[in-house]
Amino acid sequence: MFDLDRWQEIYSTLRKNKLRTIMTAFGVFWGIFMLVVMLGAGRGIENGVTSGMGDFATNSAFMWTQTTTIPWKGFPKGRRFTFTNEDIKALRDNVPEIDMLAPRIQRGEVQVMYGLSTGTYQVQGDYPDFNAIDPVEILKGRFINEIDINSSRKVAVVGKRVIADLFEPDEEPVGKYIRIQGVYFQVIGVFASKHTGGWGENQEQCITLPFTSLQKVFNIGNRVYFFAMTSKPRVSVSQTIEKAKVLMLARHSCSPDDKEAIGSDDVEEQFKKIGRLFSGIAALVWLVGAGTLLAGIIGISNIMLVVVKERTREIGIQRAIGARPRTIISAIMLEAVVLTAIAGYFGLVCGVGIVELVDHLFPPSPDNMFAHPEVHFGTAMYALGILVISGAIAGSIPAYRAIKVKPIEALRYE
The Cα 93–Cα 195 span in angstroms is 33
- Alpha-carbon distance values, 130 to 19, 93, 104, 164, 208 (Å): 65, 19, 8, 24, 11
pLDDT at 216 over 80: yes
325 versus 379: the higher-pLDDT residue is 379
Res 125: pLDDT: 96
Mean local confidence (pLDDT), 61-88: 94
Tell me the domain boundaries of the chain: 4-53+272-412
pLDDT at 220 over 60: yes
DSSP state of 405: S
Tell me if 98 sits within 8 A of 243, measured CB to CB. no
The Cα 109–Cα 343 span in angstroms is 62
Average pLDDT, the chain: 84
The answer to which of 91-105, 136-150, 228-242, 345-359 has the lowest mean pLDDT is: 345-359
Res 261: pLDDT: 95
pLDDT at 378 over 70: yes
pLDDT at 316 over 80: no
Global confidence as pTM? 0.71
The Cα 178–Cα 112 span in angstroms is 7
**Residue 358's closest CA among 3, 35, 41, 32?**
41
Mean local confidence (pLDDT), 369-392: 77
Mean local confidence (pLDDT), 361-371: 66
Res 240: pLDDT: 95
The Cα 109–Cα 378 span in angstroms is 50
Res 335: pLDDT: 74
pLDDT at 196 over 80: no
**Residue 248's closest CA among 261, 230, 237, 236?**
261
The Cα 293–Cα 384 span in angstroms is 11
The Cα 47–Cα 39 span in angstroms is 12
DSSP codes, 80-147: ---B-HHHHHHHHHH-TTEEEEEEEEEEEEEEEEETTEEEEEEEEEE-TTHHHHS--EEEEE----HH
DSSP H helices, 311-324, are: 312-320
The residues with which 63 forms a beta bridge, in sequence order, are 227, 264
The Cα 39–Cα 284 span in angstroms is 10
Q: Return the ∠ at Cα 173 (arms to 172 and 179), rounded to 5°.
A: 145
Q: For 69-92, give one letter per residue: b (16+ CB within 10 A) or e.
A: ebebeeeeeebebebeeebbebbe
The residues with which 75 forms a beta bridge, in sequence order, are 72
pLDDT at 303 over 80: no
255 versus 18: the higher-pLDDT residue is 255
Res 119: pLDDT: 94
pLDDT at 62 over 90: yes
The answer to which of 252-261, 360-369, 383-392 has the lowest mean pLDDT is: 360-369
- Rounded to the nearest angstrom, the gap between the alpha carbon of residue 131 and the centroid of all alpha carbons in its chain is 21
The Cα 98–Cα 129 span in angstroms is 12
Res 9: pLDDT: 61
**Residue 112's closest CA among 164, 162, 170, 172?**
162
Res 406: pLDDT: 62
Mean local confidence (pLDDT), 130-153: 95
Which residues touch 320 (CB under 8 Å, ≥6 apart)?
407, 411
Q: Return the ∠ at Cα 350 (arms to 346 and 354), rounded to 5°.
A: 170
